[in-house]
Amino acid sequence: MNSVHEISLAVRSKRITALDVVERCLAALPQPCADPLVAVTRLLPERARTEARAVDALIAAGGDPGPLAGVPYGVKDLFDVAGLPTTAGSAIYADAPPAVADAEAVARLRAAGAVLVATLNMDEFAYGFATINARHGTTRNPHDPARLAGGSSGGSAAVVAAGLLPFSLGSDTNGSVRVPASLTGLYGLKPTHGGLPLAGVFPFAESFDDVGPFTTGAADMALVWEVLSGRTAGCDGRSLRLGRLGGRFRDNADPGQLAAIDAIAAATPLLEFPDIARARSAAFLITACEGGALHRRALSERAMAFDPATRDRLLAGALLPGGLYEEALAFRASYLDVISAVMEDFDVLLAPATPCTAPPIEDQRILIDGALSPARADLGIHTQPITFACLPSLCVPLRRAGQLPIGVQLIGKPGREPDLMHFAARLEREGAIGTTPPTGMATPAWQGLVAA
C-alpha cells in the first residue's frame, strides 16, 4: 500500500504526476450507486483533476507544492466542500444551498498539495458508532463485508482500510474516529479538543466535536496532523512514562487486546479513572442535549424526514431538562481537575479502543457486562470517557495475523499529540502494531504505481 509519504515524495521528485495518481485513484474508487462497501457518497473528479493539475503546474514552475503534494484523500460527508451541499449524512440537507467555501481543514490540506476526490458515508448527523445510514446504506468492513465498519466515520475508515485512499478525514465526538479505526485496523486520531480546525464542519455536540484523520501508519498520521494543526510532531527526546487503564476499561475487552496492552506496557501501573460510569452518563447527557438543541427546529418542522433511530435520540435530547445539562457540565469541570491529577505522572496511557471486533451487520449487538447491547450506542464504551476527560487519543491497530482487527488507544496529556505519535512509531518498529491489508480484496490499480 502506498503511503502518504511515498506518494508525495514521488510527485515532488517528478517520478509521477499528481494527475496520474488521481486518475488511477478515481478509476479505482467505485461509483456511489455501485459501491460494495457503501463508503463513497460523492466522487469529485472535476475538482480532483483541477487540484492535481495545479500541483503539477507548480512543480513544473519550480515551486514547492507542499508536503502532501498530489496525495488523494476523502472527507466525511459533514465537511464543507465549496459548491456542494453539506448533508451531514441526512436526506434533510441533500438539497441545501451549496457551501460557499471549503472547511478550514480541507483548505489547509489543499494548501499542502493534497487532492480531494470524494465525500464519504457516515451515521446521520454523526449520531452513532456503526455508520448505518437510512439514505446511503450501511458501510461494510473491508476485512469482512458482512460486518460493520464502525462509525460514525465509517465511510472514511473503510476507503482507507480497503486501500482505495491513503488517508481520509472523519470527525470524533465520542469515538467516531477511534471506533472505526479499531474495527478496520487503522490509525485514527481524536486530538486535543479544539486542536484541529472545526470551521466549516457540521456540528453534532460542540463540547466534544473534533476533526480526526485516518492513516495506515504513524508517520503518515504525524504528517497529516502537522498540516492540519500547524505544529510540528518533532521528538523532544523525553523518556515517556507509561501506564495502563484498568477498572471499567478492562471489564469489557477482547482478551487478546488486554494481553497486548500488558505486553506493551509490562510492569507499568494499572490506573483507574474515578467515576467512569458517571462520566459516561454525563457525556451522553451533554451529547444528547446539544444535539437535540441543534436540530430542534428541524425536528419540529420535518421530524419524519430524519432517520428514525436518529430522530428518536435527538427528540429525547431536546426534551431533557436544562438543569440536567448544567449539572453534567459542572461535573465535567470538576472531573477535568481530577483527571489532570491522575495524568500528572504519566505521558501515555494504554486502554482498549473498542470492547470487541466488528459485529455482524445482521446482528448489530455486542456483549457489555454480560448482556447484549446495541452496537450503535455502545461500541464507544471505552472512547467516550476519554473524550469527556478532554484527552487526546490515538487508536493504533494491533498486529493480529489471520484475525479481525482491533485497536488500542494511546492516551496523552492535552496538547501532547507528538508523544502519542512517537510512541506509536516505536511500537511499529517493535512489531506490536501495524496495519494489515484485508484479504480477498483486489488491489486497486493505483497501488504499486509509486515505488517505495
- How confident is the model at residue 451, as a pLDDT? 53
- How confident is the model at residue 103, as a pLDDT? 99
Question: The whole model's pTM is what?
Answer: 0.96
Which helix (H) or strand (E) is 226 found in, with range? Answer: helix 218-229
Residue 86, class by beta-carbon neighbours within 10 Å (0-12 exposed, 13-18 middle, 19+ buried)? buried
Domain count for the chain: 1
Q: Please check whether residue 438 lies inside any domain of the structure.
A: no
pLDDT in tens, 310-326: 999 999 999 999 999 99
152 is catalytic: yes
**What does the pLDDT average to over 257-266?**
96
| Active-site residue, selected from the candidate residues 8, 153, 171, 176 | 176
Classify 111 as helix, strand or coil. Answer: helix
- How confident is the model at residue 235, as a pLDDT? 78
pLDDT in tens, 204-217: 999 999 999 999 99
Q: Poorest-confidence range of 133-137, 150-154, 232-236, 242-246? A: 232-236
pLDDT reading at 447 higher than 90? no
DSSP state of 194: T
3-state secondary structure 356-372: CCCCECCCCEEEECCEE
76 is catalytic: yes
* pLDDT greater at residue 444 or residue 112: 112
Share the mean pLDDT of the chain.
95
Q: Please check whether residue 159 lies inside any domain of the structure.
A: yes
Q: Please check whether residue 440 lies inside any domain of the structure.
A: no
Distance from the Cα of residue 443 to its chain's centroid: 23
> What span, in angstroms and rounded, lies between the C-alpha atoms of 379 and 279?
16
| Active-site residue, selected from the candidate residues 3, 152, 171, 207 | 152
> What span, in angstroms and rounded, lies between the C-alpha atoms of 123 and 89?
6
For 384, the domain range is: 4-430
Task: Please give the grid coordinates belonging to residue 367.
Answer: 456483549
Q: Please check whether residue 441 lies inside any domain of the structure.
A: no
| Active-site residue, selected from the candidate residues 8, 76, 90, 190 | 76
Question: What percent of the chain is helix, strand and coil (3-state, nearest 5)?
Answer: 40, 15, 45
Q: Please check whether residue 186 lies inside any domain of the structure.
A: yes
CATH number of the domain to which 169 belongs: 3.90.1300.10
Strand positions, DSSP E, 26-83: 40-43, 72-76
CB 118 within 8 A of CB 43: yes
- How confident is the model at residue 2, as a pLDDT? 83
Which of 114, 118, 49, 132 shows the shortest CA–CA distance to 308?
Answer: 132
Which residue pairs from 25-32 have beta carbons closer than 8 angstroms and sit at least 24 positions apart in sequence?
A: 25/72, 25/117, 25/164, 25/165, 25/444, 25/446, 26/117, 27/445, 27/446, 28/164, 28/444, 28/445, 28/446, 29/117, 29/118, 29/159, 29/164, 29/165, 32/136
- How confident is the model at residue 452, as a pLDDT? 44
Q: Please check whether residue 452 lies inside any domain of the structure.
A: no
Q: Please check whether residue 195 lies inside any domain of the structure.
A: yes
pLDDT reading at 1 higher than 70? no
**What does the pLDDT average to over 183-202?**
98
- Interaxial angle between packed helices 4-12 and 45-60, expressed in degrees from 0 to 180 and rounded to the nearest 10: 50
> What span, in angstroms and rounded, lies between the C-alpha atoms of 202 and 103?
9
Query: How many C-beta atoms surround the C-beta of residue 146 within 10 A?
Result: 10
Q: Please check whether residue 239 lies inside any domain of the structure.
A: yes
**What does the pLDDT average to over 34-44?**
97
pLDDT reading at 449 higher than 70? no
Query: How many C-beta atoms surround the C-beta of residue 253 within 10 A?
Result: 22
